[in-house]
Structure 1
Amino acid sequence: MKRLANKVAVITGAASGIGAATAKLFSYEGAKVVIADLRAKEAEQTAASIRDAGGDAIAIPTDISNAEQVQVLFEKTIDIYGYLNILHCNAGVLMIGSADTPSDEHWYKTLSVNLTGTYLCVKYGIPKLKQTQHSTIIITSSVSGLMGEPDLMAYDTVKGGLVNLTRQLAVEYAKDGIRVNSVCPGWIDTPFNDPIYELTPLDESSLGEIIPLARQGTPAEIAYAVLFLASEEASYITGHNLVVDGGLTAKL
């Protein structure tokens, strides 16, 4: 029996990277997957690749910082599939800057996408999740939410907010049978980190010296962590922030 057989999952930021890897893994495990992403063309390509492999997936272009679009996302999901079991709040942006250097636009955009966007997804997703048994939310936070880092003021701030949002939601909605957890990835080999490489001395070699496992992680390795938290194997886990970082934070 596949772990997510007949489950319906909405995954934000699923056109590429961790979101796409999770969508494909969820489909392999039997889920019907909604690919929600601002990039409409790439989202449809991810959905098409899942369908080509025999899975059930649709793409719904969504700006998660826009309340109306998020509301439509969940309404369309219910219209097409009838119910919702899993919400993976994965979409996010990364912008470089310190307290005295970033533009106001960078600060507000980081908050509006990473933090407010996640809030909007849970706001409109939770009423749908309440209608099914044993539903779950998984939020993509980061090890950046567990520590302070140079040049990542806005990013560290919002990821720290997601760590505690996970705890708050878990406590609030346990009575409704909704489990809420997060994954905190470390350095993962995706283009998401390109802004850091462009503006800092960090590169693949120096990361190998920082990370105890001496390499970056892969999107698939995060996807397997998300799958575990979404499955019944994690039925007694809620309010937890699962660190997947190759041992990076163990050195702190």
Structure 2
Amino acid sequence: CESLLSGNSHVSVRFKVSAISAAFPGDQLFIVDVTCVKNPASACFIVFAKEHIHFHPFIRVGCSYIASFLRLKIIQDAKQVTRPVLLLTSLSAIHLISELRFDLKLCNSQSQLVPHSVVNYEGVITGQLMDGVFQLDHNINVYFTHARLHWLRAGIGLRKGVHLRLFNVHVVYTGPDMIDLALCTYSSVEFVKLSASMDSCLPWENPAIAYWCNRLNLPHTILLCRTLMTLKKKFRRRISSSQLLQGSESC
């Protein structure tokens, strides 16, 4: 998968994108999880930092690229497992090899979802249930609460009617005949077609909900959101999410 260049100081790789992180403006970097085109069992991370952060909109899950003049670094995680990491340099260049993504399976119905798995899903947003929680195709709840997408809190592009693809999302079993999707930091979103609606949409209007979503892990956040939605459905005219969570920030 690697070929040495310029006196063994750099490497070039042909890779296919498995996942892409959000761009972190504060740290000025994003990370791409890739597999080797020639050997799919070989995987590594590529770090795009500082002046290379502008590549983010052009790197797509499932597409293949060739990158040259990368610097190889070996890291060790908390479990003492070593993994190669490739860093872009001032000489690095990236070229698209193929946009063909025939082997990238995209689910488009609830019947294709297997609980406790990670999938890719394509659908249309048909409603917003509460802060950070949307509905796809009228029957699948999608939790964006733990998606680190910088545009999400501003509501850019995310509204009823938008056609999108979700990559590396968790399939969550939430009860008999109830399967939801949840995004994490490993997940990414690709817009296929924007909504014709001009209605404004702010995924995070309630600071109390955002506060707890930032403090809880994903399973507990889903439980909290489902509890709030159940209570609001039962007491719709009597109580709001803000009232339900009033004073909880001091707990």
Task: Specify the structure having the higher radius of gyration (Cα).
Answer: 2
Shared fold, TM over 0.5: no
TM-score, scaled to structure 2: 0.24
Higher RCO (C-alpha 8 Å, min separation 6): 1
Query: Comparing both structures, which one devotes a greater share of its residues to strand?
Result: 2
